[in-house]
């Protein structure tokens, strides 16, 4: 985990990353287009994990590594590494500072008032079938300010069909861009796929049948056993650690023992991804996706790795088992594409929305004494003291922000603080500031201090999280480093160690599909075919 941050090392203190990446987006029409473009985002798939577990793979992940074009130094070029921000960047080819999706949730400045806002919230787009259920507020891409790959596909051909499916609403919606696609996500408590009135006025009959007939068999009375062959179990750590999930942290995982909400337990396992891919096959058959002479689009956001990762952490037996399940699932799906769309008629770009921190307790076991689990309440008290002191002296918002930033640093509450003035005017204070600049959208504060014009980072290896499990969201390499792999028509096998960025994926897929992309993207085309 001490690998040098390649993305940061490419940026001098006086150079803004967006400028470095801002190459032209010219598009060349291919002689024969693929008929289906697929963007796959594996939630929380840190960039080093594929190589670490490679010998355990024999399916789709192995095919990606053997036959695809891999970028081993790929990363998110921004600071707030959250699910919504990551998926939006993959889909749109622009930074959060331009897509407006700065985090999963933020405070929105409306007049003089800050209002809590969920990234894909929209009260004017109620959930179909739950219009009067206050527990399920409306959802849409209302807060997404840029179009994405699905929109570009529809702009090229209004008869094209675009689909996005995920276990999470914020992932399915941001991968779909702003167009009225077929967009479905899981309602975990009822083990059903749902959508909102932004996308449809009624559920298609085939989706109702899928929910009623297929979903129960996927999530009913399942026991998750450790099915990792003995010869591969040493790739992870032993199947017990006190810093994993509360309750039973070892295999087998059983619903009646571990969860109280009917069916929901299953989605903390490989079952969430199985449900998404199974539905994807159904949608492809019902819509003839990729089989009508058009260039169609399919977005798949696979969430199991994130659910499992938060509970059990990187290098756990659960993570290894889940990724082996994903390997088999993708292998079967790629074979399905070959048989039903046709070999050489589809392209895939696979990446992740963010990485994850290794449990600091495990890092300490390995001799990394700088890693630590931080008492979030203590840090919160320190932030409050600094804020009260900064506000007490009064002055302009810029003066308060400056005092607050310096006070936070002086008290040792944070490793570094940046004012919004530092981020938006003049040269960035250091290379980290560039990533914060790329996450900053005025009037959308992803943290309480952002409201007062300050962004902060803690030290590398510090984890502000509950007493067990792990998370992500920092500017450090382990949270920003993700895979980036291209596979399919016109793509040769190869490995590149050159820096690549997640904002490069959408324009690259557009070029390979012969689809015009906007010429003002932050990302660039990194592969044009063999």
Residue 166's SS3 state is: strand
The secondary element (H helix, E strand) that includes residue 373 is: strand 372-374
Residue 297 forms beta bridges with which residues? Answer: 37, 162
Going by DSSP bridges, is the β-strand pair 416-419/69-75 parallel, antiparallel, or unpaired?
unpaired
Domains and CATH numbers, the chain: 34-359+474-513 (3.40.720.10), 372-464 (no CATH)
For residues 214 and 211, what is the distance between their CA atoms, to the nearest angstrom? 6
State residue 20's pLDDT score. 38
CB atoms closer than 10 angstroms to residue 402: 19
Tell me the CA distances in angstroms from 487 to 25, 196, 223, 296, 484, one per residue in order.
Answer: 21, 32, 34, 16, 10
DSSP structure string for 417-475: EEEHHHHHSSS-SSHHHHHHHHH-BTTEESSTGGGGTEEEE--TTEEES-SSS----SS
Cβ pair 171, 162 in contact under 8 A: no
Cβ pair 493, 66 in contact under 8 A: yes
HSE-CB at 139 with a 13 A cutoff on CA atoms is 25
State residue 264's pLDDT score. 57
State residue 1's pLDDT score. 37
State residue 530's pLDDT score. 76
Cβ pair 266, 217 in contact under 8 A: no
State residue 353's pLDDT score. 98
Beta-carbon contacts of 196 under 8 Å, excluding residues fewer than 6 positions away, are: 122, 125, 126, 127, 128, 138, 139, 140
State residue 2's pLDDT score. 37
Beta-carbon contacts of 453 under 8 Å, excluding residues fewer than 6 positions away, are: 397, 398, 400, 401, 404, 419, 420, 421
State residue 3's pLDDT score. 36
Residue 261's SS3 state is: coil
For residue 16, report the phi and psi dihedrals to the nearest 5 degrees: -85, 130
State residue 189's pLDDT score. 84
For residue 121, report the phi and psi dihedrals to the nearest 5 degrees: -70, 140
Tell me the CA distances in angstroms from 79 to 8, 144, 354, 450, one per residue in order.
Answer: 11, 18, 11, 13
Low-confidence ranges of the chain (pLDDT < 70): 1-31, 221, 247, 255-266
pLDDT in tens, 479-508: 999 999 999 999 999 999 999 999 999 999
Cβ pair 489, 512 in contact under 8 A: yes
pLDDT in tens, 107-129: 999 999 999 999 999 999 999 99
What's the pTM? 0.93
Quote the DSSP letter at residue 228: -
Beta-carbon contacts of 305 under 8 Å, excluding residues fewer than 6 positions away, are: 42, 43, 44, 45, 273, 319, 322, 323, 326
The runs of H, that is alpha helices, within 44-82 are 49-52, 60-67
pLDDT in tens, 403-415: 999 999 998 889 9
């Amino acid at each position: 985990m001490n690998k040098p941050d390649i993305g940061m090392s490419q940026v001098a203190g006086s150079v803004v990353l967006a400028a470095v990446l801002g190459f032209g987006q010219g598009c060349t029409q291919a002689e024969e287009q693929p008929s289906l473009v697929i963007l796959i985002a594996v939630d929380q798939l840190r960039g080093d994990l594929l190589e670490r577990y490679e010998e355990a793979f024999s399916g789709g992940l192995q095919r990606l590594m053997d036959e695809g074009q891999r970028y081993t130094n790929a990363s998110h070029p921004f600071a707030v590494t959250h699910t919504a921000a990551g998926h939006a960047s993959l889909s749109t080819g622009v930074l959060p500072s331009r897509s407006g999706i700065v985090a999963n949730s933020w405070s929105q400045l409306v007049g003089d008032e800050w209002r809590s806002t969920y990234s894909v919230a929209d009260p004017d787009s109620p959930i179909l079938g739950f219009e009067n259920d206050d527990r399920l507020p409306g959802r849409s891409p209302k807060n997404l300010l840029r179009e994405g790959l699905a929109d570009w596909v529809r702009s090229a051909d209004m008869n094209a069909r675009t689909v996005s499916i995920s276990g999470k609403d914020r992932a399915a919606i941001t991968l779909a861009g702003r167009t009225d696609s077929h967009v479905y996500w899981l309602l975990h408590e009822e083990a059903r796929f749902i959508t909102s009135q932004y996308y449809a006025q009624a559920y298609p009959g085939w989706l109702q049948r899928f929910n009623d007939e297929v979903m129960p068999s996927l999530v009913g009375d399942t026991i998750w056993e450790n099915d990792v062959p003995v010869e591969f179990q040493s790739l992870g750590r032993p199947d017990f650690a006190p810093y994993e999930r509360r309750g039973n942290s070892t295999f087998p995982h059983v619903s009646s023992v571990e969860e109280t909400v009917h069916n929901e337990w299953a989605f903390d396992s490989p079952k969430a991804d199985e449900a998404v891919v199974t539905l994807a096959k159904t949608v492809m058959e019902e819509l003839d996706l990729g089989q009508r002479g058009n260039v169609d689009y399919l977005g798949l956001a696979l969430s199991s790795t994130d659910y499992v990762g938060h509970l059990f952490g990187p290098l756990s037996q659960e993570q290894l088992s889940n990724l082996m399940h994903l390997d088999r699932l993708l292998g079967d799906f790629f074979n399905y594409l070959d048989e039903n769309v046709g070999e050489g008629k589809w392209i895939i770009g696979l990446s992740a929305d963010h990485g994850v921190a290794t449990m600091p307790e495990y890092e300490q076991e390995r001799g990394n004494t700088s890693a630590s689990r931080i008492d979030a309440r203590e840090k919160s008290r320190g932030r409050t003291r600094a804020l009260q002191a900064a506000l007490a002296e009064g002055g302009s918002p810029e003066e308060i922000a400056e005092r607050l930033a310096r006070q936070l640093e002086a008290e040792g509450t944070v490793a570094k603080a940046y004012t919004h003035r530092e981020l938006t005017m003049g040269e960035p204070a250091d290379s980290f500031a560039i990533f914060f600049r790329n996450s900053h959208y005025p009037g959308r504060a992803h943290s309480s201090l952002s409201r007062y014009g300050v962004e902060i980072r803690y030290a590398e290896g510090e984890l502000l999280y509950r007493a067990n499990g792990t998370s992500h969201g920092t500017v450090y390499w382990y949270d920003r480093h993700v895979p980036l792999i291209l596979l399919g028509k016109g793509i040769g096998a190869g490995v590149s160690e050159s820096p690549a960025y997640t904002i490069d994926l959408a324009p690259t897929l557009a070029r390979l599909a012969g689809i015009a992309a906007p010429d003002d993207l932050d990302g660039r085309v990194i592969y044009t075919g063999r």
